[in-house]
A = this chain, B = another copy of it.
Amino acid sequence: MSTSPPVGLRERKREQTSQAIHIAAAELVLEHGLDAVTIDAISERADVSTRTFFNYFPSKEDAVLGIDEVAASAELDKPRDYAGDPFLAAFDLIHALFEASGAQRTKSELKRDVLRKYPHLMVRQMVRVAALEDRLSEIVARWLASDERFAAETEADRLEEARIILGVCLATVRMSMKKWASDTSQTGGPLSADPRTSYERSITTLRTVLEKLK
């Protein structure tokens, strides 16, 4: 969102190449199927060498989804504001992680089409989040620590609570993505469809279940 120098040529080119590879990958997969597409083919259409492909993405699937792991990691370091509801805040955080794919905001129809055709790629997204679980629960735990309602508890308790909260959010996000993938009319990112709504539904559901079991 901000760069001291006026965005050098190098940086622009890098972004451009990354985009080209991502789009080439997604298009080819939609045309010929995930397994039929090789990294050679993607590289050829994107006009880079095979070797360069691996300078941008570690695998075919990452390229297809346009995953930018460093952007995602950077997202975690950004200060995020906590408005008093850990579920909602965690939901937003996960949302941000999913969207962390460089600058491209366009072309997300491509992404959705791919995800609809190959749902197991969604699992891959979840894995990414799961891999960051330690850092995520750390962040949530810190929110709790700053919350007067939880400040009195022990560090360990808050960590445990954080993990549970994340578990619930992940389940919610998963449902949210499934709906998004099967919806044909929606625009924007996978989760842009009003996180607040999905979130509230889930929490209500959860409360209902717990209530009935009491």
List chain A positions with a Cβ less than 8 A from chain B: 85-87, 120, 123, 126-127, 130-131, 133, 149-150, 157, 160-161, 163-168, 170-172, 174-175, 201-203, 205-210, 212-213
Contacts and interface: CB of A to CB of B under 8 A. Distances in A.
Contact of A168 (B123, B164, B203): B164
B160 A164 contact: no
- Copies of this chain, whole number: 2
Given A149-B212, A212-B150, A175 B163 contact: yes
A123 B201 CA distance: 28
Nearest to A160: B205
Contacts of A131: 120, 123
Contacts of A126: 127, 130
A212 B150 CA distance: 8
A133 B133 CA distance: 19
Contact of A161 (B123, B133, B166, B205): B205
A133 B174 contact: yes
A132 to B, nearest CB: 10
A206 to B, nearest CB: 5
A210 B206 contact: yes
Contacts of A209: 86, 161, 164-165
A23 to B, nearest CB: 27
A164 B206 contact: yes
A86 B123 CA distance: 24
Residue with the greatest number of chain B CB neighbours at <10 A, chosen from A85, A127, A161, A168 = A168
A210 B174 CA distance: 21
B163 A174 contact: yes
A87 B167 CA distance: 14
6 contacts: A133-B174, A149-B212, A161-B208, A164-B172, A167-B171, A167-B172
